[in-house]
Amino acid sequence: MNTNGNAGFRGGPSSGVRCILGIETSCDETAAAVLTLDGKVLSSVVASQHDVHKRFGGVVPELASRRHTERIEGIVMEAMNQAGENGVDLAAIATTRGPGLAGALVVGVSFGKALAYSMGVPWIAVNHLQAHVASAWLDHPSFLMPCVVLVVSGGHTHLYLVSTPGQYSLIGRTLDDAAGEAFDKGAKMLGLEFPGGPALDRLAHSGDPSAVHFSRPYLNRGGLNFSFSGIKTALLYFLRDRKKIGHPCSLEDIAAGYQEAIVEVLVEKTMRAVRRHKVQGIAVVGGVSANSRLRALLKERAVREDFQLALPRVSFCTDNAAMVAMAGWWAFQAGQFSKWDVDARATLDHVTLSAG
């Protein structure tokens, strides 16, 4: 690692502001961020790999790991430099340990651990899902707990009841596909470019959501659980048959109708969770929480039904390292540090405060 001429890597006591460095490499974003010990984001740098994976129509794990390896040092340096020209004092380094792509995670974990060890600061392994949960507090530091948190990303659709930064119970989850997967696969069927979710969101903007009706999957079944595999099949059959039926809709209308069905289920089930657990606040986090229709509907309902809503800014919805630093900060405050033999874990599932 070459740190010559750079004020970035500096640990231990000094007069600078004490901070947590967060590192994220679980999928196709190489990210680093610096958060002060009073919760202020000083920098958040995200290098997306969309250009690498675009022509394959999805993330290629081996290419993701290689790109993380090429980029990680530069991204961490950039985050450190943006955080403070004279360097920042690192109190700890937090790194996503899992869940995610094994080879991609290993890059971040090895780098984070080696840097922490060489600087003599504690290392904190973070669960990616917990980092998404913590992202809600980046822009809403006084958001009240207990609350319901919907984590809605490419690989997960989980409803949590969050009582304190360290206490979570899983109260609902998808039984098959994640909502992000339904967006991505639906987008592929509509011939949209990778990554599909944002492309479908953009296309749906100029469509009429009531022109094509897709039944709301699992809305009146399964309690607080979700199921999104059926709606993809419904879209497949609709696209196959629409010329035969002579349905007068545009691709924009289809995208809008499909999006509306997914979003409505996400909102309704989250509202149900709030009523069932008698809380006043909802946070919605993860890549799909960047969806413009989901955000609009949640805001409408928050006003109408008088609950508090925490939505991260869009750049904190999709994978980033500010959320990893935030989860690391929570663990830091609880005195939960990881041992040096804790390693990357692709299948790490539920949220725990310290991931290892």
> Which residues of this chain interact with Zn ion, rule CB under 5 A?
153, 319
Task: Kindly state whether residue 84 participates in binding ligand KG4, applying the rule CB under 6 A.
Answer: no
Pick from Zn ion, ligand KG4, none: which does 103 bind, CB < 5 to 8 A by kind?
none
Residue 155: which of 189, 124, 191, 127 has the closest Cα? Answer: 127
**Minimum gap (Å) between residue 302 Cβ and ligand KG4:** 19
- Of these, 88, 256, 283, 290, which contacts ligand KG4 (CB under 6 A)? 290
b/e per residue, 11-29, with b = 16+ CB within 10 A? beeeeebebbbbbbbbbbb
Partners of 18 in beta bridges: 89
CB count, 10 Å around CB of 309?
18
**Minimum gap (Å) between residue 314 Cβ and ligand KG4:** 8
Backbone angles phi, psi at 205, to 5 degrees: -50, -40
Contact yes or no for 10/85 (Cβ under 8 A): no
Task: Kindly state whether residue 291 participates in binding ligand KG4, applying the rule CB under 6 A.
Answer: yes
Which x/- pattern over 16-35 shows residues binding ligand KG4 (rule: CB under 6 A)?
Answer: -----------x--------
- Of these, 98, 172, 286, 328, which contacts ligand KG4 (CB under 6 A)? 286
- Of these, 98, 108, 209, 287, which contacts ligand KG4 (CB under 6 A)? 287
Partners of 21 in beta bridges: 34, 93
Task: Kindly state whether residue 328 participates in binding ligand KG4, applying the rule CB under 6 A.
Answer: no
**Minimum gap (Å) between residue 317 Cβ and Zn ion:** 9
- Of these, 84, 196, 257, 356, which contacts ligand KG4 (CB under 6 A)? 196
- Of these, 177, 253, 264, 319, which contacts ligand KG4 (CB under 6 A)? 319
Angle ∠(50,285,167) on CA atoms, nearest 5: 130
* 350: its two tokens: 């539920």
- Of these, 103, 172, 197, 328, which contacts ligand KG4 (CB under 6 A)? 197
Pick from ligand KG4, Zn ion, none: which does 318 bind, CB < 5 to 8 A by kind?
ligand KG4
Q: In what order do the strands lie in the sheet with 41-48?
A: 41-48, 29-36, 18-24, 89-98, 123-127
99 versus 122: smaller Cβ distance to Zn ion = 99
- Of these, 288, 311, 325, 342, which contacts ligand KG4 (CB under 6 A)? 288
- The CA-atom distances, in angstroms, between 46 and each of 32, 61, 177, 213, 346 are 7, 18, 26, 37, 21
* 204: its two tokens: 């749906």
Pick from ligand KG4, Zn ion, none: which does 291 bind, CB < 5 to 8 A by kind?
ligand KG4
State how far the Cα of 328 lies from the Cα of 203, in Å rounded to an integer.
37
Task: Kindly state whether residue 154 participates in binding ligand KG4, applying the rule CB under 6 A.
Answer: yes
Q: Is 237 exposed, middle or buried (0-12, 13-18, 19+ CB in 10 A)?
A: exposed
Helices (runs of H) and strands (runs of E) counted in the chain: 11, 10
Stretch that binds ligand KG4, among 2-10, 148-156, 166-174, 337-345 (CB under 6 A): 148-156
Task: Kindly state whether residue 153 participates in binding ligand KG4, applying the rule CB under 6 A.
Answer: yes
Pick from ligand KG4, Zn ion, none: which does 196 bind, CB < 5 to 8 A by kind?
ligand KG4
Residues that bind ligand KG4 (CB under 6 A): 27, 153-155, 180, 183-184, 195-198, 201, 286-288, 290-291, 318-319
